[in-house]
């Protein structure tokens, strides 16, 4: 697996510093985390997170930094498939939270996930949304009528929500027939945006994404048996340079504080 190569840069910085008459004192960190009072150091974690958990994870960050002020967190939000590919190619990452077991499975098979760190964290559901003022769509069956000319969903090959949508529509014997109407998005947030702006008549997204928008309405929920369980696994990336701190953050996500935040955003806990 690829590892981050900061050694040469660090050595260069040290030589430059020693060669000078004096070295300037480091400036006060501008990150959200304060430096550790004992060591003066800040542990920096990069967390790759499925876009559908964006709102909740931002609140989790605030709560965690209140308990661990010596940790600085940088989020990388995106579709789980894209994030997994970045990690596979060596992108500096400490923790991966996926909206699909598939992408976590792929990384684990490549030896990219630290042994013993993986666990299922969250659960979600798939819903049909339309613009707030749209009143003529009431169920999935309307997809096959003139009431819906454009239907948005995530790209099934890289966006887990799109894959779940594909499975649900296939179980209803609709997927093939509806392809001319489909508009594929890079992640679930883009699907919501398409529906909010009226660029499409309907979309399939996670229930949690629909809940945070006041410009869409939920019309129906896909039967749980129509698609694979929507499970969000999390794990520490194998080449993390801060594995201990990364695991501490993962553990915090199962705390009462984090659970309360996730549930406020409509997630259920997998544990």
Last residue of a domain, one of 210, 226, 242: 226
63 and 189 in one domain?
no
The reply to whether the predicted model has a pTM over 0.85 is no
Q: Which pLDDT score is estimated for 271? A: 72
Q: What is the tens place of the pLDDT at every residue in 166-219?
A: 999 999 999 999 999 999 999 999 999 999 999 999 999 999 999 889 999 999
Do 182 and 149 touch, CB atoms closer than 8 A? no
Looking at the fold, whether 106 and 159 belong to one and the same domain comes out as no
pLDDT tens figures, 94-116: 999 999 999 999 999 999 999 99
Question: What pLDDT band is residue 230 in, cutting at 50, 70 and 90?
Answer: very high
Residues 131 and 222 in one domain: yes
Greater model confidence, 148 or 4? 148
Residue 41 is predicted with a pLDDT of: 61
Asked if residue 156 lies in contact with residue 165, where contact means CB atoms within 8 angstroms, the answer is yes
Percent of the chain with pLDDT over 70: 85
118, 159: one domain: no
User: The domain that contains 138 carries what CATH number?
Assistant: 3.40.190.10
**9 within some domain:** no
Is residue 147 domain-shared with residue 100, that is, in the same domain? no
- pLDDT recorded at residue 245: 97
State how far the Cα of 15 lies from the Cα of 212, in Å rounded to an integer: 51
Half-sphere exposure of 145 (CA within 13 A, CB side): 8
* CA–CA distances in Å: residue 226 to residues 152, 163, 173, 177, 221: 18, 12, 11, 17, 10
Residues 110 and 171 in one domain: no
């Amino acid at each position: 697996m690829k590892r981050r190569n900061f050694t040469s840069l660090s050595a260069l910085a040290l030589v430059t510093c020693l060669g000078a008459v004096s070295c300037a004192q480091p400036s006060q960190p501008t990150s959200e985390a304060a430096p550790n009072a004992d060591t003066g150091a800040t542990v920096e974690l990069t967390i790759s997170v499925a876009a559908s958990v964006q709102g909740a994870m931002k609140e989790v960050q605030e709560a965690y930094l209140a308990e661990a002020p010596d940790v600085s967190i940088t989020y990388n939000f995106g579709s789980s498939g894209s994030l997994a590919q970045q990690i596979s190619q060596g992108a500096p990452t400490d923790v991966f939270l996926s909206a699909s077991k598939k992408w976590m499975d792929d990384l684990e098979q490549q030896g990219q996930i630290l042994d013993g760190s993986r666990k299922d964290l969250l659960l979600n559901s798939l819903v049909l949304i339309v613009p707030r003022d749209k009143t003529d769509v009431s169920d999935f069956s309307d997809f096959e009528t003139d009431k819906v000319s454009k239907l948005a969903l995530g790209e099934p090959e890289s966006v887990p929500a799109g894959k779940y949508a594909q499975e649900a529509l296939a179980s209803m014997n609709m997927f093939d027939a509806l392809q001319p109407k489909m508009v594929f998005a890079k992640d679930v947030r883009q699907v919501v945006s398409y529906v909010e702006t009226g660029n499409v008549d309907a979309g399939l997204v996670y229930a949690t994404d629909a809940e945070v928008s006041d410009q869409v309405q939920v019309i129906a929920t896909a039967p749980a048996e129509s698609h694979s369980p929507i499970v969000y696994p999390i794990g520490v990336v194998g080449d993390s340079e801060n594995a201990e701190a990364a695991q501490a953050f993962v553990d915090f996500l199962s705390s009462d504080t984090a659970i309360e935040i996730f549930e406020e955003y409509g997630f259920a806990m997998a544990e």
